[in-house]
Amino acid sequence: MQHPEMRQTVFGQVLAELIESRGLEVTPFKVGKIAEQSGLDGWKVLGRMADAGAEDPGDLGGLADVLGLSESERLELAYAYSFEQRLEETLAENTNE
């Protein structure tokens, strides 16, 4: 597996699998290009793939469109992103108590 750092989060794992399922490579350059095509900042997408606490890349709808995701794949990606983000927020809240 190339670039394991891009699979450090559930979002990163799911996104990498979806990209690979379309016959594309999961490299920083390729993911950055896909993100740009979808109207997102490639560095922010890469950051979220590596760290759930990284800056929010924005609306993932364009990314789903560029990849041609099915409705179930869109939900899978959204859940991976949303629940992981909520987990990070909960952990941060509990740490600050």
- Residue 48 CA to residue 62 CA, distance in Å, equals 16
Say how many domains are in the chain. Answer: 1
Please tell me the predicted confidence (pLDDT) of residue 68: 97
**Which residue range(s) make up the domain with 80?**
4-95
Please tell me the predicted confidence (pLDDT) of residue 15: 96
Residue 87 has pLDDT above 60, yes or no: no
Look over the chain and give the mean of its residue pLDDT values, rounded to a whole number: 88
Residue 80 has pLDDT above 60, yes or no: yes
Predicted TM-score (pTM) of the model is 0.84
Confidence class of residue 37 from pLDDT cuts 50, 70 and 90? very high
Residues, the chain: 97
